[in-house]
Amino acid sequence: MKFFRAVLVLALALTGAARAQPGPPATPRPDERPIADPDATLVEELVVTARYGGPAWWKVSDADTTVYVLGAPGLAPKRQQWDQKLFERRLRGANVVILPYRGLRVRVGSSPGLAIAYLKLKSSTPFETTLSGPLRARFVAAREALDQPAKRYGTRNALAAGLMLGGDYRDKHELTTADPMKLIRYLAQQAKVPIDQRTYDVTPLLARVAKTPTSGGMTCLEEVLGEAEAGPAATLAASRAWAQGDVPGALAAERSYERCLAAAPGALAFDARTKADQADAIAKALKTPGHAIALVPLRPLLSQGGVLDRLRAQGFTVKTPGEE
C-alpha cells in the first residue's frame, strides 16, 4: 500500500502546516461548486506587522500568565533562516512549548473502509489517461518538469493525483511544512522545557478520501498545477516576509493546499478539532503562572474561528505584534 500511504501522508500534511502559493484561476466547469475554505476570512485587526526584527509574535494573557504565540509559515524552504534571539529569550524559564501536531496515526489494517478507499484510489493506468485536451497537456508537462514518470500517479482520483503532484513539487524545490517546528522542538528539548504536541488517529477521515466530490478534486488538481507552473517564487517571497515580521506578506502565499484538503469529506470537522485543541492547550498553559510559548500556523492562528479568535471568545487578552 505504498501508493495509498503516500497519498494519505500528503493529504494530512495539508491540515494546518502545508499551505502554498495560489495558482491562476481554474477554468470554471458547469458542475463545479466552491470548496469551503475554513481559513478564507481573516480577523483583520490581528493581521499586524511586527514592530521589532524577526518573525511576528502574538500574546495571549490573563492575570498572571502570558503565552507568546509565534505564527508559523505554512510552507517554507528547508533550513529557513530567521532571527531566533527573541525566541531564545522567551524560551528561558518557559513552562511549556506548545507545538502543532507532529504525527497522525493511521491504522491501515484495522479499517475495512480504508482498504476499500485504497482499492477505489489505486489504478493500474496513469491518472493522465483520464484527462483530455489542455488539462492533460498541463499535467504531463508538470510531472515531466518534476522528473516523475506517468506511472507514479496510478490513480483514478483527482484529489489524490493533485496531492501527490503537490508533494512532488515541494520535494523538487526543497519546500517543507516542518520548519521552523523541527528547530523549535529541538531547542526546547535542549533547554529541557516540556513540549505539548498532540497526535491524532485519522483512520476514519482517510477512509473517506475516495468519496471526495469530483468537482472538488478537479479544483484541487488545477490549483496544484497552477502552483507548479508558477514556480516557488511566491512561496520564497512569503517566507522572507515571515522572517521579517511582515504578516500580510507572509499570508500572501497560503491558499491552495488548505483548499485541496477541505474538499475531502470530514476535513472541515478535523480542521475545527485541531484549532480547538490548540486553543485549549494555550488556555491550559494560562492556568500556570509565568509564561509559555506556542507555535501555530499563520492562517489557522488568524482566521475567523481560528485559534486567537477562539481564545478571545473565552475572555483572554490577545495582543498583536504591533503592541509589543
Residues 68, 66: Cα–Cα separation, whole Å: 6
Mean pLDDT of 294-302: 95
Q: In the predicted model, is pLDDT for residue 313 greater than 70? A: yes
Please list, in sequence order, all residues whose beta carbon lies within 8 angstroms of the beta carbon of residue 2, skipping any fewer than 6 positions away: none
Q: At what angle do helices 133-145 and 158-172 cross, to 10 degrees?
A: 30
Q: What is the dihedral of CA 265, 270, 275, 279, to 10 degrees?
A: 150
- Give residue-wise pLDDT tens across range 240-294: 999 999 999 999 875 666 667 676 777 788 889 999 999 999 999 999 999 999 9
Q: In the predicted model, is pLDDT for residue 233 greater than 90? A: yes
| pLDDT for position 256 | 65
Q: Which of 49-53, 148-152, 211-215 has the lowest mean pLDDT?
A: 211-215
Q: Which helix (H) or strand (E) holds 181?
A: helix 181-190
Residues 97, 70: Cα–Cα separation, whole Å: 11
Q: In the predicted model, is pLDDT for residue 140 greater than 70? A: yes
Q: Which of 110-119, 120-129, 142-151 has the lowest mean pLDDT?
A: 110-119
| pLDDT for position 160 | 85
Mean pLDDT of 131-145: 96
Pairing of strands 65-72, 290-297: parallel
| pLDDT for position 249 | 95
- Give residue-wise pLDDT tens across range 17-64: 333 333 333 343 434 445 577 888 999 999 999 988 899 999 999 999
State the residue for C-alpha cell 500500500. 1
Mean pLDDT of 60-74: 95
Mean pLDDT of 216-228: 88
Query: How many CB atoms neighbour CB 261 within 10 A?
Result: 29
For the chain, the average pLDDT equals 83
Q: Give me the percent of the chain exceeding a pLDDT of 70.
A: 77
The domain locations on the chain are 2-25+38-323
- The pLDDT confidence band at residue 306, using thresholds 50, 70 and 90, is very high
Q: In the predicted model, is pLDDT for residue 75 greater than 70? A: yes
Q: In the predicted model, is pLDDT for residue 90 greater than 90? A: yes
Inter-residue contact 72 to 298 (CB < 8 Å) = yes
State the residue for C-alpha cell 492533460. 136
Q: In the predicted model, is pLDDT for residue 13 greater than 70? A: no
Q: Which residues pair with 69 in a beta bridge?
A: 58, 294
Query: How many CB atoms neighbour CB 146 within 10 A?
Result: 17
Q: Give the DSSP letter string of 120-152.
A: HHB-SS-GGGG--HHHHHHHHHHHHHTT--GGG
- The pLDDT confidence band at residue 72, using thresholds 50, 70 and 90, is very high
- Give residue-wise pLDDT tens across range 168-194: 999 999 998 888 999 999 999 999 999
| pLDDT for position 213 | 78
Query: How many CB atoms neighbour CB 191 within 10 A?
Result: 13
Q: Which three cell numbers stand for residue 15?
A: 491540515
Residues 154, 158: Cα–Cα separation, whole Å: 11
What DSSP character marks residue 303? B
If you average pLDDT over each of 198-202, 205-209, 219-223, which comes out highest?
Answer: 219-223
108 sits in the region (left: phi over 0; alpha: psi -120 to 50; else beta) called: alpha
